[in-house]
Amino acid sequence: MLATTALAGVAHAVTVGPVTDDIGVIEIPEGDPIQIGGLMVLSGPDSSLGLDQSRGAEIAFADRDEMLLDHPIQYLPEDGQCSVEGGQTGATRLAANTQIVAVVGPACSSEARGGGPVLWNAGMPMAISSATAPALTAQDRPEGFQGLVRFVYNDLAAAAAAVEYVQSQGFARVATLHDGSLYAEQLVQSFQEQFKAAGGEVVASEAIAPTDTDLRPVLTRIGTGAPQILYAPIFVGASAYLVRQAGEIRSMADVPLLGSDAVLAPAFLDAAGDDAVGYRIIGIDNDPAVLGERYVEFVQKYEDEFGEPPIAGFHANGYDAASAVMAAIEKVAVTEDGTTYIGRKAFRDALMATKDMPGVSGTVSCDPHGDCSAAAFAVFEFTDSDSSSFEVGVNPKKMWP
């Protein structure tokens, strides 16, 4: 077996067997597996976010009977810990295995920031399953992000949906809170820009650290601006402290809170307790009435395989990202005498050129910058603090549109 890789972005064509590629060529002998990595948060309070989409990828591989081009598929997920450092560490472990063709994930934008350049330097593109920060697929993104192809919505669209919802409720004065992560900071920034452009006023804009546990001082500062709603798209741990402590601040006790699908997980109910009831979040809408019968069949497979309904919101995106990876491999691979050769740049280009793929989340087509998903959004409200009652559409219940 041989995998020859030049630095991605550096013109240095490599020829292995019948394939010449600008980055490198993976050679997979007859009987050896086609290896596909995974990088997503699999530990800590946000583990449901990553595990849910990793399960989606596993179902996609199972739908192919774990075989591709007469090779078994070997799926190798790593924990990105929803952080820059975790993304770097997980990506470094994956990059050390030069037989990996591509990586499904990450779940968090910070994982992409840390891990994306490491993997692309090794010639391994990432099929993003829930990292949504606009910078990851921006037209002027740096070389290290050139291997990122996104099979979930861009937060420019999420911010627009949040603005539409806030205005539909008649709120003209908002406050915002982020945790300094690439995801939350860029989503809040996009929300503020679009809300102001629509004629709204941002009366407070605050930040915390993801590990902060006492949010009372920042909530007191926010309360002095007399907002009509607080938009805080932060993760499970900080969101739980937010809903527990907001009621303790007199000026914030009656201010509605709006989070995001980063807490679309049973772990949030365990962390927030009874204060979770009534908390609203805006995020991806996996309503079967929107996604259709194929999504219903997919969810049944999920429940049959894992013994419970989906535990977060991005299982369909994990399935579609894995499906797109397999489809791109089939487009560019060359097989001679049982040995398969895959050009790394040719594979990335084929993944980026995904078009009209019938996915579980809808029809998937990529734009020139690697955004391949157009999701619908909805607002959900938690109705019960018992985490065993978690079921998207029931608890939390869909409230808008």
pLDDT tens digits, 336-345:
999 999 999 9
Element at 315 (helix H, strand E): helix 315-332
* DSSP designation for 394: B
Predicted confidence band of residue 287 (pLDDT cuts 50, 70, 90): confident
Contacts for 322 with CB less than 8 Å, ≥ 6 apart: 36, 56, 57, 60, 61, 104, 127
Distance CA 217, CA 237 (A): 17
256 has which bridge partners?
none
User: Has residue 170 got a pLDDT over 70?
Assistant: yes
Using the Cα atoms of residue 148, residue 153, residue 155 and residue 156 in order, give the sign of their dihedral. Answer: positive
Distance CA 37, CA 389 (A): 32
Q: Provide DSSP, 338-359.
A: TEEEEEHHHHHHHHHT--SEEE
Predicted confidence band of residue 151 (pLDDT cuts 50, 70, 90): very high
Mean pLDDT, residues 103-111 taken together:
96
Predicted confidence band of residue 32 (pLDDT cuts 50, 70, 90): very high
Q: Are 342 and 273 in contact (CB under 8 A)?
A: no
